[in-house]
Amino acid sequence: MKTNATQRSMQHLRNLGWQVAKVEAWIPPRGAMKFGVRRDVWGFGDLLACIPKVTWHDKTTHIQIGEPLPPRIALIQCCSDSGGKAGMQAHKEKILAIPEYRYWKLCGGIVLLHGWKRRKPRGQRAQWILSEEEL
């Protein structure tokens, strides 16, 4: 089954216990517009996710691992982990220049940049690898 970066990020976050909603919108062409447009929340949010206070446990021994993590709320930008204008570095530079990014951070929100790359080790099936960066 074919998936896009947003779908892969949603599944990844849900597997970690996050509640996730897609907030990116598709605006169909109208009037003089020749093509439709994707609109992110504040220019950088494809997904909105939250997770309550969490304490990680070892699933086999049920021993608590580390300090509890605080509740978190995040906007996630999903993209390719390739170089060039579609890659993570280009998305990072764009996000850091958006005034709403700073406001979101001042309010306690986090911004995650998810970059996906398809890798095929010799003799194995191709798989999607996530590169995640908190901005």
Distance, in Å, from the CA atom of 53 to the CA atom of 60, rounded to the nearest integer, reads 21
The whole domain housing 30 covers 5-134
Beta strands at 25-27 and 37-39: parallel, antiparallel or unpaired: antiparallel
pLDDT of 69-78, one tens digit each? 677 899 999 8
Helices of type H across the chain: 5-15, 88-96, 99-106
pLDDT of 9-23, one tens digit each? 999 988 888 899 998
Domain count, the chain: 1
Residue in 72, 73, 77 with CA at minimum distance from that of residue 92: 77
Within the chain, which residues score under 50 in pLDDT?
none
pLDDT given at position 105: 93
